[in-house]
């Protein structure tokens, strides 16, 4: 019998789901930069046609297996309503889960589907939940969200009651 | 208004997990009916849960296999959620010193309160949780073991 490896314990589909969904960065030059450069063009403008021109846009990255992301979800509808500009959420959930999420919380913004590993690599995110803020398609700020209050503070969106 | 009652999607129903300072439930060790988790505790106990349904568990298994060889005699239990035949294969692939147990998803999520694979706990001699870490890399495993290092023999130090 040939020598088994750990890879042999996994179904092909399990590993393939992760590996084929990995989307490499589009711009090789940008890939060379290991740190965020404020003002650089956002690498995911194709996520939504409006991103390139929007005066202000916020993209949130969540994972449905991350508890601090789940904790955030119930507060995002209000955040979305108060947020001026374009808001997108990129989620590691399946299309069906993400559609259910939008229905359950009555989100007014779209929830897009992308594997966690793919968006972390592509946008150089260290952890979830994370936010990237753009102005006219350029990155102004990028951070890991500690909680909903932190998100409000960083995005200068006024909370209810303030 | 025609308000339809909404049912919370299952993926939003997060059960509160075990926290640092909690005592780990004294589960029965799977397939060893007369052995309980607390029987395995010495001065400490590390345990990790992984599943072959989770792609990040592949690098986690590789890291754990290296880790247990770096610390010969380490008290580390590994619970694996997988099919019976795959578990049999896993026993041959892991280093002979690995203490691996076949466990159901129900046991790992329901009783050990794993919050996602790969997951790790470090317990003190009383069964109290001292460390909780993602168990996916050597770096995280080092954090998991960090308070218990004085109990270990390390190959690196010898």
What pLDDT sits at residue A112?
Answer: 96
What pLDDT sits at residue B33?
Answer: 75
Which residues of chain B neighbour A67 with C-beta distances below 8 Å? 14, 17, 115
Q: Does pLDDT of B5 surpass 90?
A: no
Please report, for chain A, the start and end positions of each structural domain, with discontinuous segments joined by +: 37-155
What pLDDT sits at residue A162?
Answer: 56
Q: Does pLDDT of A31 surpass 70?
A: no
Q: Determine whether the interchain pair B9/A17 forms a contact, defined as Cβ–Cβ distance below 8 Å.
A: no
What pLDDT sits at residue B2?
Answer: 45
Band of residue B8 on the pLDDT scale cut at 50, 70, 90: confident
- CATH code: domain B37-150 is 3.40.30.10
Q: What is the mean pLDDT of residues B69-96?
A: 95
Give A105-121 pLDDT, tens digit per residue. 999 999 999 998 889 88
What pLDDT sits at residue B14?
Answer: 64
Give B141-158 pLDDT, tens digit per residue. 999 999 999 999 776 544
What pLDDT sits at residue A33?
Answer: 41
CATH 3.30.70.580 corresponds to the domain A37-155: no
Please state, in angstroms and rounded to a whole number, the distance separating the CA atoms of residues B69 and B135: 16
Q: Determine whether the interchain pair A8/B17 forms a contact, defined as Cβ–Cβ distance below 8 Å.
A: no
B55, with CB counted inside 10 A (0-12, 13-18, 19+), is buried
Closest CA to B101 of B30, B3, B18, B48: B30
Name the strand (E) or helix (H) holding A149.
Answer: helix A148-155
Q: Does pLDDT of B62 surpass 80?
A: yes
Q: Determine whether the interchain pair A65/B90 forms a contact, defined as Cβ–Cβ distance below 8 Å.
A: no
Please report the beta strands in B21-148, taking only residues with DSSP state E, as ranges in sequence order.
44-51, 76-81, 99-102, 119-124, 129-134
A31, with CB counted inside 10 A (0-12, 13-18, 19+), is middle
Q: For testing the chain B interface, which of A5, A9, A72 should be mutated: the one with the most B CBs within 10 Å?
A: A9
Q: Does pLDDT of A147 surpass 70?
A: yes
Task: Count contacts between A and B (CB, < 8 Å).
Answer: 59
What pLDDT sits at residue A29?
Answer: 41
A75 part of contact set with chain B, CB < 8 Å: no
Which residues of chain B neighbour A19 with C-beta distances below 8 Å? 55
Q: What share of chain B is helix, strand, coil (3-state, %, to 5)?
A: 35, 20, 45
Q: How far is B41 from chain A (nearest CA, A)?
A: 28
* β-sheet bridge partners, residue A88: A59
Q: What is the DSSP letter of A41?
A: B
């Amino acid at each position: 019998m040939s020598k088994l490896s750990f890879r042999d314990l996994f179904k092909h589909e399990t590993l393939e789901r992760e590996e084929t969904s990995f989307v490499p960065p589009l711009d090789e030059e940008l890939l060379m930069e290991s740190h965020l450069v404020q003002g650089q063009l956002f690498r995911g403008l194709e996520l939504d046609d409006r991103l390139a021109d929007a005066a202000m846009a916020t993209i949130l990255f969540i994972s449905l297996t991350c508890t601090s992301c789940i904790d955030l979800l119930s507060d995002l509808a209000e955040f979305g309503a108060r947020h001026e500009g374009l808001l997108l959420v990129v989620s590691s959930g399946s299309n069906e889960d993400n559609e259910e999420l939008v229905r359950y919380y009555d989100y007014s913004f779209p929830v897009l589907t992308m594997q966690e590993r793919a968006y972390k690599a592509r946008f150089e995110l260290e952890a979830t939940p994370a936010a990237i803020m753009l102005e006219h398609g350029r990155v102004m700020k990028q951070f890991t969200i500690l909680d909903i209050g932190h998100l409000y503070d960083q995005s200068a969106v006024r909370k209810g009651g303030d | 208004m025609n308000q339809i009652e909404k049912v919370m999607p299952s993926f939003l129903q997060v059960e509160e997990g075990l926290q640092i300072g909690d005592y780990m439930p004294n589960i029965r060790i799977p397939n060893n009916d007369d052995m309980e988790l607390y029987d395995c505790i010495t001065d400490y106990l590390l345990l990790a849960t992984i599943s072959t349904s989770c792609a990040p568990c592949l690098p986690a298994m590789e890291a754990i296999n290296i880790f247990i060889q770096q610390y010969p005699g380490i008290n580390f239990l590994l619970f694996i959620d997988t099919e019976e035949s795959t578990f049999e294969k896993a026993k041959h692939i892991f280093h002979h010193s690995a203490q691996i147990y076949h466990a159901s998803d129900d046991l790992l999520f329901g009783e050990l309160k794993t919050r996602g694979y790969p997951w790790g706990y470090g317990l003190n001699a009383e069964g109290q949780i001292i460390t909780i870490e993602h168990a996916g890399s050597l770096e995280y495993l080092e954090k998991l073991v960090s308070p218990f290092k004085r109990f270990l023999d390390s190959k690196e130090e010898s």
